[in-house]
Amino acid sequence: MSWATHYIEKLKTGETVQFRPRGNSMKGKVESGQLETVRPVTSEQLQKGDIVLCKVNGSQYLHLIKAIQGDRYQIGNNIGRINGWITINSIYGICTSVED
C-alpha cells in the first residue's frame, strides 16, 4: 500500500479528499505539507497544467498534466521530471485547492 491508496479508494467512490503531501517535486505550485483538496475527475475536465492524483508505472503521484495526446496524458513534476504517459483510468482526482 502506497501513500495515496486510501485517498484513491475514496475518490473512486465519488468522495472529495484532503491531505498534506510531503516532498519537493512540485515546488512552486505545491509546497511540502500544504493542504490539498482533490475531487474525482472525468476526462472532459482535464487540461494541460492541471494537478492530478494518478498512478504512473506503479507509483502514485500528485503531479502535473504536462501534455495531452488524444486519450493519453503525460504526467510530470514541476521541476522538470517526466513520469510517463497514462490514460484516464490511471487518473483518480484533480486538485481544486492548495492551502497552508
User: What is the tens place of the pLDDT at every residue in 2-23?
Assistant: 999 999 999 999 999 999 999 9
> In this predicted structure, what is the pLDDT of residue 1?
73
User: How many domains, the chain?
Assistant: 1
Question: Can you point out the beta strands (E) in 1-100?
Answer: 17-19, 35-39, 51-56, 59-69, 72-76, 82-86, 91-99
What's 84's domain CATH number? 2.10.109.10
Residue 43 pLDDT greater than 90, yes or no: no
Residue 42 pLDDT greater than 90, yes or no: no
Q: Which domain holds residue 63?
A: 5-99
Residue 39 pLDDT greater than 90, yes or no: yes
Residues 27-53 have a mean pLDDT of 95
User: What is the tens place of the pLDDT at every residue in 44-92?
Assistant: 889 999 999 999 999 999 999 999 999 999 999 999 999 999 999 999 9
